[in-house]
Amino acid sequence: MEKKLLILSLFFSVLSFSQSKVPVYLDDSQPMEVRIEDALSRMKLEEKVDMVHAQSKFSSRGVPRLGIPENWMTDGPHGIRAEVLWDEWNQAGWTNDSCMAFPALTCLAATWNPEMAALYGRSIGEEARYRNKNVLLGPGINIYRTPLNGRNFEYMGEDPYLASRMVVPYVQGVQKNGVAACVKHYALNNQEVDRHTVNVTVDDRALYEIYLPAFKAAVTEGKAWAIMGAYNRYKGQWACQNEYLLNNILRNEWNFDGVVISDWGGVNNTKEAIYHGLDMEFGTWTDGLAENKSDAYSQYYLAKPFLKLLKSGEVSEEEINKKVRNILRLAFRTTMNRNRPFGSFGTAEHGLAARQIAEEGIVLLKNAAPSNSPKGEKPILPLNMNTAKKILVVGENAIKSMTIGGGSSSLKAKYEISPLEGIKRKAGNVKVEYARGYVGEKNAKQDGLAAADITDNRSPEELLTEACSMAKDADYVIFIGGLNKHDGQDCEGNDRKGLGLPYGQDRVISELAKVTKNLIVIIVSGNAVAMPWVNSVPAIVETWYLGSEAGNALAAVLTGEVNPSGKLPFSFPVKLTDIGAHALGDYPGKDKEETYRESIFVGYRWIEKNKIKPLFPFGHGLSYTQFTYGKAVTSSKSITKNELLTITIPIKNTGKLAGKEVVQLYVGDEKSSLPRPLKELKHFIKIELQPNESKNVTFDISVDDLKFFDDQKHEWIAESGKFKIYIGSSSADIRTVVDFELK
């Protein structure tokens, strides 16, 4: 017995001794900031410098001596990028890195549903975690300033409030998996032309009211652990090393405690990168990196040049300590968090999530009866599969892969259901035929990834003649076109050349409309497009880039299995000059200088200010059912700055199908000391109603909803006076208006 007690005593003594020797930085019962300082005190200067720059295309060093892991980044916002070689963009040749392709973020924004954003973030975060990444390079939330921006498909539309409400649950969903969401591209990265060199001049009102709110929400509400700097310059400094954006606003005004990561190749100067708020440098093209020099990464601006300045005493060691603290905080939140879940990858559950997001984001732009129909005939959609015998699908985008190409969002998808395949699956006994109609470039190939070859060498006339001939006896003709992921369209690195559809699609659509009245046009894009044939076509659907489940989601909406409920996250102009950036003639800038002359009047704000009729307005989207809005009632006729105004609106589904409606609330200031838009989106909610079901929707208006940014005082202010509340189904479809006063 005594022997057993002695053994137990020795065991607990050893255990107690071993526990007392555990370094503070490895003890997760200690406060994080205490652990950070302890780890920092144990690091050599060279180890600190190693942590602030890349060691490969997508990784940076840890401190093996101390058990601090490497950091591994991954593109992108729509799916987890395939593994590439250590120092090349080409594929590493893995056989188990085929991800689930989620819809592009324009589609997510078009759901107008924060629950879908949470589902998206959680699902993609699980995929990143499974692949052992601790930073997801996304989401993107730059504002849609021009429909020519090649990267708009990666962002969340033209309205700062909509983007703010959608980015927060996305960030939170990702980070529940112990993976940092790296929100990008901060800030003012609103065009791809001259993106590495253009200097953006924008007034503070536009900066704070339009271009920063979504980033602020991601940081202050979403608690994002990482931010990626942009390529462009602002106030003459590159955004990745910008004193005003990174130190003054991000750190000092918003109290960001995460890590600032450069976009790949976004650093241009050592001292500015040291002092102006950057923490980690990636992708710099310096000293032969393009030729894959063996020591290229040690030549980065924050590598040997930084170390030399530190050792000489020209730069204080506290400057490297600031950066390493943020990187250690990232590690403790991700790779060194023992409670991280394990994640999952390419699962059926993620496929269902991708499909649900896609279905909710598809926007029914137009739905009328064919022009030759008797009066009172039903709209052409949903398809009547009980009477149809033949469906003709026309267009290259019906068969073209949309997951490969486009830049850093290119994916090696586990599968991709094409629109044609999805329609065939849903057709049952209905015969589905296909005609090419038009041919674009050969399929995009990127980083060693290539889609199936769909080359067709026939002339445009042959293709058009075939399509029109086959359309004559079809019950429905579904044209599937739009844009794609090639350079000069929806693709990183360049902007579109114009608003029109490429490859002669306008002519194909117009000619098809002459031979059939049952024509449905499906636009696949991440941008608005011109539609000169809009009055000749009974139905138009915007489907975005829908990812792995594209065909299934589209077919479900076309057949009525799913009632469309998406709303446009940006305006569709008739022509480019209906947009402020183009009307004022400053896009894409002159001599690398770009001035945002339209100021706060972006998107629908510009359209309404100038009384322009859009092709389709911001917030627009139809349903297969109908919703009626009752009269809005307010809790009071006036409020003070400390009170809330409650607005109640009865909404009823007066149609025959269950459906979802996005109720949108805009606020307009009747008289202001500074110019303000006619109205601005301040609240929205997506509700689901059964036929004949009614619900009362309520919103609370606070003084914060009434404020604008006073650039002279550098603060948000609300002025006493009269305001209007506009409630409707889109920015142009206002159903009820109420007045109140702020005292």
Q: Which of 568, 593, 614 is the last residue of a domain?
A: 568
Burial of 251 (0-12, 13-18, 19+ CB in 10 A): middle
Extract the tokens encoding 588. Answer: 């894409």
Instruction: Show the domain range for 639.
Output: 625-742
d(CA 714, CA 204): 8
Paired strand residues for 227:
183, 260
Same structural domain, 632 and 729: yes
d(CA 219, CA 37): 23
∠ Cα 88 54 123 (to 5°): 80
CATH number of the domain that residue 360 is part of:
3.40.50.1700
d(CA 94, CA 82): 8
**Which is it for the CA torsion 624, 629, 635, 639, positive or negative?**
positive
pLDDT recorded at residue 447 = 83
Same structural domain, 379 and 482: yes
pLDDT recorded at residue 87 = 86
Beta strand 593-595 pairing with 633-634? unpaired
d(CA 660, CA 626): 10
Same structural domain, 636 and 559: no
Tell me if 7 is assigned to some domain: no
How would residue 16 be classed by pLDDT, with cut points 50, 70 and 90?
A: very low
**Residue 17 scores a pLDDT above 50:** no
Q: Whole-number mean pLDDT of the chain?
A: 95
pLDDT recorded at residue 288 = 41
Residues in the chain: 743
Beta strand 715-717 pairing with 476-482? unpaired
Tell me if 206 is assigned to some domain: no
Residue 101 Cα to chain centre, angstroms:
14
pTM across the whole model: 0.95
Same structural domain, 411 and 541: yes
| Contact present, 438 and 463 (Cβ < 8 Å) | yes
Instruction: Give me the mean pLDDT over the 471-490 stretch.
Output: 97
**Residue 374 scores a pLDDT above 80:** no
Looking at the 3D structure of the chain, how many domains does it have? 2
How would residue 368 be classed by pLDDT, with cut points 50, 70 and 90?
A: very high
Highest mean pLDDT among 22-31, 449-458, 610-619: 610-619
Tell me if 414 is assigned to some domain: yes
Tell me if 203 is assigned to some domain: no
Backbone dihedral region for residue 294 (phi beyond 0: left; psi -120 to 50: alpha; all else: beta): alpha
Same structural domain, 561 and 652: no
pLDDT recorded at residue 502 = 98
Tell me if 142 is assigned to some domain: no
d(CA 210, CA 605): 11
pLDDT recorded at residue 20 = 52
Q: Which of 545, 568, 591 is the last residue of a domain?
A: 568
Same structural domain, 636 and 564: no
- Residue 673: how many other CB atoms lie within 10 Å: 11
**Which is it for the CA torsion 477, 479, 480, 486, positive or negative?**
positive
Same structural domain, 380 and 511: yes
Among 581, 453, 475, 568, CA closest to 149? 581
What does the DSSP 8-state code read for residue 150? T
Same structural domain, 399 and 531: yes
CATH number of the domain that residue 734 is part of:
2.60.40.10
Tell me if 546 is assigned to some domain: yes
Burial of 451 (0-12, 13-18, 19+ CB in 10 A): buried
Extract the tokens encoding 59. Answer: 């990784």
Same structural domain, 390 and 504: yes
Beta strand 135-136 pairing with 71-74? parallel
d(CA 98, CA 606): 43
Torsion of CA 412, 416, 419, 423, to 10 degrees: 180
**Residue 6 scores a pLDDT above 90:** no
Helix 550-558 / helix 419-427 crossing angle, nearest 10 deg: 50
Burial of 161 (0-12, 13-18, 19+ CB in 10 A): middle
How would residue 11 be classed by pLDDT, with cut points 50, 70 and 90?
A: very low
pLDDT recorded at residue 10 = 42
Residue burial 8-40, b: 16+ Cβ < 10 Å; e: rest: eeeeeeeeeeeeeeeebbeeeeeeeeebbebbe
Extract the tokens encoding 361. Answer: 């984001």
Instruction: Give me the mean pLDDT over the 112-119 stretch.
Output: 98
Instruction: Give me the mean pLDDT over the 654-674 stretch.
Output: 97
Same structural domain, 513 and 417: yes
pLDDT recorded at residue 349 = 98
> Phi first, then psi: what are they for 315, rounded to 5°?
-120, 130
Of the ranges 77-91, 311-325, 476-490, which one carries the lowest mean pLDDT score?
Answer: 77-91
Q: How far is CA 503 from CA 77, 396, 418, 514, 523, in A?
A: 29, 10, 20, 19, 14
Residue burial 470-485, b: 16+ Cβ < 10 Å; e: rest: bbeebbbbbbbbbbbb
Tell me if 666 is assigned to some domain: yes
Tell me if 235 is assigned to some domain: no
Q: How far is CA 727 from CA 201, 680, 736, in A?
A: 34, 11, 5
The active-site residue out of 263, 279, 447, 490 is 263
pLDDT recorded at residue 15 = 41
Spell out the residues 6+ positions from residue 154 whose beta carbon is closer than 8 angstroms to its own. 76, 77, 78, 104, 105, 106, 138, 140, 409, 492, 526
Same structural domain, 553 and 413: yes
d(CA 406, CA 579): 24
Identify whether 263 is a catalytic site residue. yes
Q: Which of 552, 568, 584 is the last residue of a domain?
A: 568
Among 293, 320, 296, 318, CA closest to 306? 320
**Residue 172 scores a pLDDT above 50:** yes
Extract the tokens encoding 599. Answer: 């100021």
pLDDT recorded at residue 443 = 77
Same structural domain, 403 and 481: yes
Q: For residue range 262-287, list pLDDT tens digits in order.
A: 999 999 999 999 999 999 999 987 55
> Phi first, then psi: what are they for 722, rounded to 5°?
-95, 140
Extract the tokens encoding 733. Answer: 């479809």
Torsion of CA 267, 270, 274, 279, to 10 degrees: 30
Extract the tokens encoding 356. Answer: 């649900």
How would residue 89 be classed by pLDDT, with cut points 50, 70 and 90?
A: confident
What does the DSSP 8-state code read for residue 563? -
pLDDT recorded at residue 283 = 92
**Residue 223 scores a pLDDT above 80:** yes
d(CA 155, CA 175): 19
pLDDT recorded at residue 1 = 53
Among 226, 255, 149, CA closest to 195? 149
